[in-house]
A and B are shown apart, each in its own frame.
Chain A
Amino acid sequence: MSPSVPLQEMIRAIRSARTQCEERGVIQRECAAIRAQFRQADNGGRSHNLAKLLYVHMLGYPAHFGQMECVRMIASPRYSEKRVGYLGAMMLLDEKQDASLLITNSIKNDLSHSNQYVQSLALCTLACMGSAEMCRDLAPEIDRLLRASNSYIKKKAALCAVHIVRKVHELGELFAPAARSLLTEKNHGVLHGAVVLIIELCERNPETLERFRKTVPDLVQIMKGLVLSGYSPEHDVAGISDPFLQVRILRLLRILGHNNEGASDAMNDLLAQVATNTDSTKTVGNAVLYETVLTVLDIKSESGLRVLAVNILGRFLLNNDRNIRYIAMTSLQKIVGTDHNAVQRHRGTIVDCLKDQDASVKRRALELSLALVSATNVRSMMKELLIFLSSCPQELKSHAASGIFNAAERYAPSQRWHIDTILHVLTTAGGDVRDETVPNLIQLITNASELHCYTVHKLYRALLLDISTQSLVQVACWCIGEYGDLLLRGECQETEPVQVTEDDVLDALETVLQSHMSSPATRGFALTATMKLSTRITDNVDRIRSVVSIYGSCIDVELQQRAVEYNALFKKYDHMRAAVLERMPVIEKNSPGHTNGESMGEVKENQASKKPTEPKLLPQPANQVCDLLGLLGGSEETLQPSPSTALGLLTNTPSTAGGNLLDLLGDLEPEPLTPAPLVPVYDKDGVALTLSCEKQSDTAMTVTLTASNSTDSDISSFTLQAAVPKSVKLNMNAPSGDSLPARGAAKVTQMVVLNYQNKVNLKMKIRISYSSRGSTFQDTVQIDTFPGL
Chain B
Amino acid sequence: MRFMLLFSRQGKLRLQKWYTATAERDKKKMVRELMQMVLARKPKMCSFLEWRDLKIVYKRYASLYFCCAIEEQDNELITLEVIHRFVELLDKYFGSVCELDIIFNFEKAYFILDEFLMGGEIQDTSKKSVLKAIEQADLLQEEDESPRSVLEEMGLA
A interface residues (Cβ-Cβ under 8 A, vs B) = 1-4, 7-8, 11-12, 15, 44, 51, 54-55, 58-60, 78-80, 83-84, 87, 90, 94-96, 115, 117, 120, 123-124, 127-129, 131, 152, 155-156, 159-160, 162-163, 188-189, 192-193, 196, 234-235, 237, 242-245, 247, 251, 283-284, 286-287, 290-291, 294, 322-324, 326-327, 357-361, 363
Asked whether B97 is an interface residue with its Cβ less than 8 Å from the other chain, the reply is no
Q: Which of A2, A44, A247 contacts B148, CB < 8 Å?
A: A44
Residue in B14, B77, B145 with the greatest tally of chain A CB atoms within 10 Å:
B77
Q: Does B138 count as interface, using CB distance less than 8 angstroms?
A: yes
Q: Which of these, B28, B104, B114, B133, contacts A60 with CB under 8 Å?
A: B28
A193 and B123 within 8 A (CB): yes
- In Å, the complex CA distance between A32 and B129 comes to 41
In the complex, are the beta carbons of B77 and A283 less than 8 A apart?
Answer: yes
Number of interface residues of B (CB under 8 A): 59
**A323–B114 CB distance below 8 A:** no
Q: Does B122 contact A (CB under 8 A)?
A: yes
Q: Is the CB of A2 within 8 A of B142?
A: yes
Q: Which A residues lie within 8 Å of B115 (CB)?
A: 120
In this complex, what residue of B is CB-closest to A4? B107
A323→B125 contact, CB < 8 A = no
Per-residue contact bits, chain B 34-66, to A (CB 8 Å; 1 contact, 0 not): 000000001011111110000000000000000
- Check A360–B50 contact: CB distance below 8 A: yes
Alpha-carbon distance between A283 and B77 when the two chains are bound, in angstroms: 7
State whether the Cβ of B98 lies closer than 8 Å to any Cβ in chain A: no
Task: Give 7 new A-B contacts, CB below 8 A, not counting A79-B140, A94-B22, A235-B126.
Answer: A44-B148, A115-B140, A156-B118, A243-B81, A251-B75, A287-B78, A322-B45
A160 x B119 contact (CB < 8 A): yes
Name A327's contact: one of B13, B77, B144 (CB within 8 Å). B77
Contact A1 B118 (CB under 8 A): no
- Given A1-B141, A1-B142, A83-B137, the answer on whether A360 and B21 have CB atoms closer than 8 Å is no
Contact B118 A160 (CB under 8 A): yes
Quote the shortest CB–CB distance from B34 to chain A (angstroms): 15
Q: Is the CB of A234 within 8 A of B119?
A: no
Q: Which residues of A contact B22 (CB under 8 A)?
A: 94
Q: Could you say which residues of chain A place their CB within 8 Å of the CB of B104?
A: 3, 7-8, 11-12
Residues of chain B in range 109-155 having any CB-CB distance to chain A below 8 Å:
110-111, 114-115, 118-119, 121-129, 133, 136-138, 140-145, 148-149, 152
- Chain B: minimal CB distance from A163 (Å): 5
Minimum Cβ distance to chain B for residue A127 (Å): 4
**Can you give 27 A-B contacts (C-beta < 8 A)?**
A1-B138, A1-B142, A12-B104, A44-B149, A44-B152, A58-B14, A58-B15, A79-B140, A87-B114, A94-B21, A96-B23, A117-B133, A120-B115, A120-B137, A156-B123, A159-B123, A160-B119, A192-B122, A196-B121, A237-B85, A247-B78, A287-B75, A294-B75, A327-B76, A327-B77, A360-B48, A360-B50
B125 touches A242 (CB 8 A): yes
Task: Say which residue of A4, A96, A159, A290 sits within 8 Å of B77 (CB atoms).
Answer: A290
Set B49, B105, B106, B145: member contacting A58, Cβ < 8 A:
B106
Q: Which residues from B are CB-within-8-Å of A290?
A: 75, 77
Interface secondary structure of A, over-half rule: helix
Contact A1 B108 (CB under 8 A): yes
Question: How far in angstroms is the closest Cβ of chain B from A169?
Answer: 16
Measured CB to CB, the nearest residue on chain B to A237 is: B81
Q: Which residue of A lies closest to B134 (CB)?
A: A1
Is there an interface contact between B21 and A129, defined as CB atoms closer than 8 Å?
yes
Query: Bound state CA distance, A251 and B126, in angstroms?
Result: 20
Q: Chain B's nearest CB lies how many Å from the CB of A200? A: 10
Q: How far is the CB of B3 from chain A (nearest CB, A)?
A: 11
> Do A235 and B140 form a contact, CB below 8 Å, given A11-B103, A55-B106, A128-B19?
no
10 nearest A-B residue pairs (beta carbon): A287-B77, A189-B124, A1-B138, A159-B118, A287-B78, A127-B119, A360-B46, A163-B119, A358-B45, A80-B141
Chain B residues closer than 8 Å to A60, beta-carbon distance: 13, 28
Q: Smallest distance from the beta carbon of A119 to chain B beta carbons, Å?
A: 12
Q: A360 and B126: CB pair below 8 A?
A: no
Which partner residue on chain A sits nearest B137 by CB separation?
A117
Cα A79 to Cα B143 in complex, Å, equals 9
- The answer to whether B107 touches A51 (Cβ under 8 A) is yes
With contact pairs A159-B123, A322-B44, A326-B46 given, residues A95 and B78 touching in the complex (Cβ less than 8 Å): no
A189 touches B129 (CB 8 A): yes
User: Distance in Å from the Cβ of B7 to the closest Cβ of chain A?
Assistant: 11
- Closest B residue to A95 by beta carbon equals B21
Q: How far is the CB of A139 from chain B (nearest CB, A)?
A: 15
Q: Is the CB of A80 within 8 A of B144?
A: yes
B87 within 8 A of partner (CB) = no
Is there contact, CB below 8 Å, between A283 and B126?
Answer: no
Q: Does B8 contact A (CB under 8 A)?
A: no
Given known contacts A3-B104, A96-B23, A360 and B49 CB-to-CB distance under 8 angstroms: yes
Distance from B53 Cβ to chain A, minimum over Cβ atoms (Å): 15
Question: Which of chain B's residues have a CB closer than 8 A to the CB of A327?
Answer: 48, 76-77
Asked whether B144 lies within 8 Å of A323 as measured between CB atoms, the reply is no
Q: Considering only CB atoms, which chain A residue lies closest to B132 in the complex? A: A152
Are A159 and B105 closer than 8 Å at their CB atoms? no
Q: Please tell me if the beta carbons of A188 and B126 are within 8 angstroms of each other in the complex.
A: yes
Q: How far is the CA of A247 from the CA of B148 in the complex (A)?
A: 47
A626 to B152, CA, bound (A): 114
Residue in A closest to B138 when the chains form the complex, CB atoms: A1
Q: How far is the CB of B15 from chain A (nearest CB, A)?
A: 8
B106 touches A83 (CB 8 A): no
Bound-state CA distance A78–B142 (Å) is 11
**Which residues of A sit under 8 angstroms from B125, Cβ to Cβ?**
188-189, 192, 235, 242, 244-245
Give Cα A54–Cα B104 distance, bound, in whole angstroms: 12
Q: Please measure, in the bound complex, the distance between the C-alpha atom of A55 and the C-alpha atom of B114, giving whole angstroms.
A: 17
Do A159 and B46 have beta carbons less than 8 Å apart? no
* Chain B residues with CB under 8 A of A120: 115, 133, 137
